[in-house]
Amino acid sequence: MSKVTISLNGRPFTIGCEDGQQAYLKELAGHLDGHVRDLADKVGQIGELRLLLMASLIVADEMREAQGKVEALESELLDAKGHLSQAEARRRTDRSRAADAIIKAAERLEALSGTDGRDA
């Protein structure tokens, strides 16, 4: 178990974390602290608890918005996969039809030439 010191609204806090997670926690705390500082600039120092609550709500809103974007992208991906599957099925059908048409044309040419393909 490791410890890392983060800063929120200019105040240091030391918290425990798993080894190797220190930089990630500092990054998360920096994101939250950015919101806290922005709020403090806009509304003043209205108390740490309120600033943290408001910043947490902003971060939760960001997360919800990101989840919505992920869901929309997943839906678009499923649609694209469906269109790709349909296109692949059409391609296979078209290829089969083309092969059948070539075979029939070859058979007609053989019939018109009066040979059965065994003349040499």
Task: Give the residue extent of every domain in the chain.
Answer: 2-113
Name 8's bridge partners. 11
Q: Give the model's pLDDT for residue 114.
A: 78
Rounded Cα distance between 56 and 39, Å, is: 11
Taking 70 as the threshold, does the pLDDT of residue 67 lie above it? yes
36 close to 53: Cβ distance less than 8 angstroms: no
Average pLDDT of span 87-107:
93
Give residue 117's pLDDT band: very low, low, confident or very high (50, 70, 90): low
Give residue 70's pLDDT band: very low, low, confident or very high (50, 70, 90): very high
Rounded Cα distance between 35 and 63, Å, is: 14
Rounded to 10 degrees, what is the CA torsion of 14, 38, 64, 50? 60
Q: Is the dihedral of CA 46, 60, 23, 73 positive or negative?
A: negative
Average pLDDT of span 96-104:
94
Give residue 119's pLDDT band: very low, low, confident or very high (50, 70, 90): low
